[in-house]
Amino acid sequence: MNKSKTLLAVVIAIMLGGCGQMGSSPEEEPEKTPAEMDPADLPQIDAFQNEYSREMMVSTEPVADGYYLMRSKIGAFTIWFPEEAVFMENASGVDGDHYEKLRISYENKNENRGYTGNFQYQYGGNAKKPERILDNLRWRWDYEEEWNEIQEDESTIFYGAKEMAQNEYVVMGYKVSTKQAPQVIEFVYDVSCVNKQAKGCDIHLEKEKEFALEWVKSIQFSGTRSDGGETDGE
């Protein structure tokens, strides 16, 4: 009788143990960020192969056709990175958690087209009076036209475009947060032919303006700074 009870207890223990194992699953390993991956396993474009910018890339999956998502060094905003472009580390940098600048460039001799996108983020300071940025841009680029305005759900874009020379244009302005104030990004997009003397040098302003504004529209303010502090309402 004791043997029967002992055997029954063993069977029950085995069954309970099996049920426990069936109900549990091994913990999934967290997905690695691009900065944690082997560069050989990353997309073979500058944004991922450059050690500095690799830390800023969010995912190896394109966010849109021809673009990957980049998060600013201080975590204040995200922006689409064109897959053909190059991150200019020597012209980019941060100052504390309130200022950051990015420079992204592209040059193709066969296409005979090159551009540079300059983006400067500010929290506080001029971000509280972004009209100063327009005044500064007007002075720097001798811009005399009216500024154009684009309203978005959580931000507003002011921009202008100017022909600097034949087949060379600048699209400039700023994007200001309307919900996570005071945050603003000044942008200057400069495009021209690589070889202005070569035949086939033909830059179209409307096409380039559309490209530049799509890029600026991709910028999303995060609402937090690198220290985790909220920017909303400060």
Per-residue pLDDT of 29-53, as tens digits, reads 677 788 888 888 888 888 898 888 8
Report d(CA 215, CA 166) in Å as an integer.
24
The torsion angles phi and psi of 16, rounded to 5 degrees, stand at -65, -40
Q: Is the pLDDT of residue 231 over 60?
A: no
Cβ neighbours for 136, distance < 8 A, ≥ 6 positions apart: none
Report d(CA 115, CA 191) in Å as an integer.
4
The SS3 assignment for 135 reads: helix
In terms of Cβ atoms closer than 10 Å to its own Cβ (0-12, 13-18, 19+), residue 191 is buried
DSSP 40: G
Q: What does the pLDDT average to over 1-23?
A: 47
User: What's the confidence (pLDDT) of residue 147?
Assistant: 97
pLDDT digits (tens, 9 = 90+) for 99-111: 999 999 999 988 8
**Residue 216 CB coordination number (10 Å):** 23
Q: Quick one: how far is CA 187 from the chain centroid?
A: 13
| Cα-based distances in Å from 111 to 66, 106, 107, 198 | 17, 11, 8, 11
- The pLDDT > 70 percentage for the chain reads 82
| Residue that the structure tokens 């309402």 belong to | 233
